[in-house]
C-alpha cells in the first residue's frame, strides 16, 4: 500500500510522485507497481489503480471488435413488429429518421448523438489513442484525444437506449407479435464490449504511456 502523505519527508515530494484517493482524498506516495499488481488506499481500501498485463493489445482488440459491431448494431433490425397484418423493421437509425420526419428534430438530434454519434466518436478516440501508444507516434495528439474521450464518456448513452427498447418490447408484447432482430444482439454485444473496454483500458497506464513515463504499457 502507498505511504500516507504525513510520513516524514513525504510532504516535500513533487506532485508527480503523489496520488490522492478518489474516495477519501488521502494524499500519499505514488507506488511503483509491477505487472499484475494493484495499489490500494491504506485508509479506505479503494483501488487507486492497477498495472494489468497487455493493456494496449487487449484494449485494441476490444475497440476493433466494437467498431465491427457498430454498423450492424445501428442498421440491422432491432425488432420486427407484426400488427394487423402489417410488418415493420425497426433499427436505431430508422428511429432517428422517424423522429425527424414527425417534426421532433431536436429529439432526433439528441438520440442520434447519444446513441450513434458520440459512441462512435468515443471508439475512434480510443482507437487512435491506443495506436499512438502502441506505435509510439503522435503522443501529443494522443493526449488531446484522450482528454476529449474523457469529456465524452458521460454523453454516450447506449444503455439508456437499450432500456428504452426493452421497455417498448414489454409494452407491445400483448398488442402485437414481436420478433427480436439480429441488430439487438449486436447492440447488446456492443454495449458489453464498451463496458469491458472501460475495465481493461487502465487510465493510469494510458496516461503514463502518453506522457512518456511508461514505455512498456502494452506489456
115-174 tens-digit pLDDT? 888 889 999 999 999 999 888 888 888 889 988 988 887 776 666 666 666 666 665 656
Identify the residue whose cell numbers are 442498421. Answer: 75
Q: Is 137 within the bounds of a domain?
A: yes
Comparing CA positions, the residue from 87, 84, 166, 152 lying closest to residue 123 is 152
The answer to pTM > 0.75 is no
Are 39 and 87 part of one and the same domain? Answer: no
DSSP states along 68-131? HHHHHHHHS-SEEEEETTEEEEE-HHHHHHHHHHTT-HHHHHHHHIIIIIHHHHHHHHHHHHHH
Are 77 and 154 part of one and the same domain? Answer: yes
Q: Is 4 within the bounds of a domain?
A: no
CB 129 within 8 A of CB 113: no
Q: Which domain holds residue 16?
A: 10-50
pLDDT computed for residue 6 by the predictor: 46
pLDDT computed for residue 168 by the predictor: 63
Identify the residue whose cell numbers are 499512438. Answer: 132
Q: Is 164 within the bounds of a domain?
A: yes
Are 99 and 198 part of one and the same domain? Answer: yes
**Residues of the chain whose pLDDT is less than 70?**
1-17, 33-37, 49-52, 81-88, 156-178, 212-219
Amino acid at each position: 500500500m502507498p505511504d500516507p502523505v504525513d510520513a516524514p519527508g513525504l510532504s516535500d515530494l513533487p506532485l508527480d510522485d503523489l496520488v490522492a484517493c478518489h474516495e477519501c482524498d488521502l494524499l500519499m506516495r505514488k507506488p511503483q507497481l509491477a505487472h499484475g499488481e494493484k495499489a490500494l488506499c491504506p485508509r479506505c481500501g479503494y483501488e487507486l489503480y492497477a498495472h494489468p498485463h497487455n493493456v494496449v493489445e487487449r484494449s485494441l482488440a476490444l475497440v476493433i471488435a466494437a467498431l465491427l459491431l457498430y454498423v450492424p448494431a445501428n442498421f440491422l433490425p432491432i425488432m420486427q413488429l407484426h400488427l394487423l397484418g402489417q410488418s415493420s423493421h425497426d433499427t436505431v437509425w430508422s428511429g432517428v429518421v422517424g423522429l425527424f420526419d414527425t417534426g421532433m428534430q431536436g429529439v432526433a438530434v439528441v438520440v442520434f448523438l447519444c446513441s450513434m454519434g458520440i459512441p462512435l466518436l468515443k471508439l475512434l478516440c480510443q482507437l487512435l489513442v491506443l495506436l499512438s501508444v502502441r506505435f509510439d507516434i503522435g503522443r501529443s495528439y494522443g493526449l488531446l484525444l484522450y482528454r476529449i474521450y474523457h469529456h465524452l464518456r458521460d454523453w454516450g448513452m447506449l444503455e439508456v437506449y437499450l432500456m428504452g427498447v426493452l421497455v417498448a418490447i414489454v409494452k407491445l408484447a400483448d398488442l402485437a407479435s414481436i420478433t427480436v432482430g439480429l441488430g439487438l444482439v449486436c447492440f447488446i454485444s456492443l454495449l458489453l464490449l464498451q463496458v469491458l473496454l472501460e475495465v481493461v483500458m487502465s487510465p493510469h497506464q494510458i496516461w503514463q504511456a502518453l506522457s512518456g513515463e511508461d514505455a512498456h504499457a502494452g506489456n
